[in-house]
Amino acid sequence: MGPVAPRPAKLEQGADKITAATFAYTSTAFPMLTGTLVTIAGFVPVGFAASSAGEYCYTLFAVVAIALTASWFVAVLFTPLTGFFILPKELRGHGHEPSRFARAFQSVIDRVLRMKYAVIGATVALFVVALIGMQFVQQQFFPSSDRPELLVDLTLPQGSSINATRKVVDNFENILKSDPDVEHWSFYIGSGAIRFYLPLDQQLANDFFAQAIVVTKGLKVRPAVQKRILAALQRPEFEQVMSRVNPLELGPPVGWPLKFRVSGPDPARVRDFAQSFASLLGNTPSAQNVNFDWNEPSKVVRVEVDQDRARALGVSSQSLSQTINAVLSGTSVTQVRDDIYLVDVVARAVAHERATLETLRSLMIETPGGQSVPLEQMAKLSYGLEPPLIGRRQRLPTITVQADTAPGVEAPW
């Protein structure tokens, strides 16, 4: 409620200066206080909500409450005090004829008061119409930021190496170089961007993931750059890439606006239910880019150890797994210094020695007795499929089916 100015009309009516200056306080202080408290109460659910949104918006509630309370004190204390020093001791009275607008407004108010039941009924009817109409209005808790940056997420199949991710990033950077509305960009391969912005949705570190921060030349060209990037990501070289291009968010980080969790004790059945639900969601016109946080099996080499033979040769499962891992994935043998950093030197077999099962079967395993025995004499090797990672929530395997909304469609909270 804003300050109320002193009333010189009271001086014209013969009142003393103190009465005229304090008339605003004596006549409107309590109604103004009531209106102030009602407005503050409207922000209480936002300020004290037990959620990340409530934590983020608490300062909004605090600023509004302090500003309105201070405004009330200014209106009922400082403004009358200022009027006491500004107004003269007395003011000669003179007639005041109401204006044409004032007379018309007074006539409308008089008619409305005489038709009180009709006015109340019309007010209730309009309120009901407004409640029904709100069902057709899209809701958005926080709009997108007006900063010029765009976040580009590139997700490869979950069994992809970081070298494959780097190749995709190199191809994508060639697209950014040719865009005249792109100021500059930075890429993070194998992890998400550092938290340069408070509501940034942090990403887990994975070899198959890369994230770019693309800085456009302004808010006006940002939508056009976003459309061009999305169109370029439909090229054949990005066929295996799940991409997402979106501006920075305001408020608590959301990421994908549509998220549905499927949980259960059996990962196989969870995958089946998640795929069934994803197919239903994909048939919805309002959803697009349906994907999973994990659900992609990768090809693996399964080693079934014959424990009887391994024990007879004195080879433990631990030493056997370490040898195979050193050949396939590599093991750190030493370190070299690069300025202030220590860099691991990893040794592993060359590509043609670890490319097929035949070469792995002939891998010589050293026994404690100093002899070398082919791996196939103590283990059976075969190809198989299994998920490279399994997400869990409350210790249950959980798949999140996530998607974007179609252009022009909001996902209400």
Residue 160 maps to a domain: yes
* CB-count exposure of residue 98 (10 Å: 0-12, 13-18, 19+): exposed
Which of 400, 406, 399 is CA-nearest to residue 288?
406
Q: Do 109 and 69 fall into the same domain?
A: yes
HSE-up of 247 (CA within 13 Å, CB side)?
Answer: 21
Residue 292 maps to a domain: no
Residue 91 maps to a domain: yes
Q: Do 127 and 154 fall into the same domain?
A: no
Q: Do 17 and 82 fall into the same domain?
A: yes
The residue out of 223, 255, 287 marking a domain boundary is: 255
Residue 396 maps to a domain: no
* Domains identified in the chain, total number: 3
CA-CA distance, 385 to 370, in Å (whole number)?
35
Outline where 74-195 has alpha helix (H): 79-86, 100-114, 116-133, 162-177
Which helix (H) or strand (E) element contains residue 182? strand 182-189
Q: What is the span of the domain harbouring residue 338?
A: 298-386
Q: Do 230 and 164 fall into the same domain?
A: yes
Residue 181 maps to a domain: yes
The tens place of each residue's pLDDT in the chain, 413 residues long, gives 444 444 456 666 666 677 777 776 777 778 888 888 888 888 888 778 777 667 777 888 889 899 998 988 888 777 777 777 776 666 555 555 667 888 898 899 888 888 989 999 999 999 999 999 988 887 777 778 889 999 999 999 888 888 899 999 999 999 899 888 999 999 999 988 988 888 888 888 888 999 999 999 988 999 999 999 999 998 888 888 888 998 998 877 788 888 899 999 988 899 889 999 999 888 888 888 888 888 888 888 888 888 888 888 888 888 888 888 888 778 888 999 988 889 989 888 787 777 777 777 877 888 787 788 888 888 888 888 888 888 898 889 999 999 888 877 777 65
The residue out of 255, 287, 322 marking a domain boundary is: 255
Contact (CB, 8 A) for 302 and 385:
no
Which helix (H) or strand (E) element contains residue 61? helix 52-73
Where does residue 281 fall: left (phi above 0), alpha (psi -120 to 50 degrees), or beta otherwise?
alpha
Pairing of strands 287-292, 396-405: antiparallel
Residue 397 maps to a domain: no
Q: Which backbone phi and psi does 52 adopt, to 5 degrees?
A: -65, -35
* pTM: predicted TM-score of the whole model, two decimal places: 0.66
Residue 393 maps to a domain: no
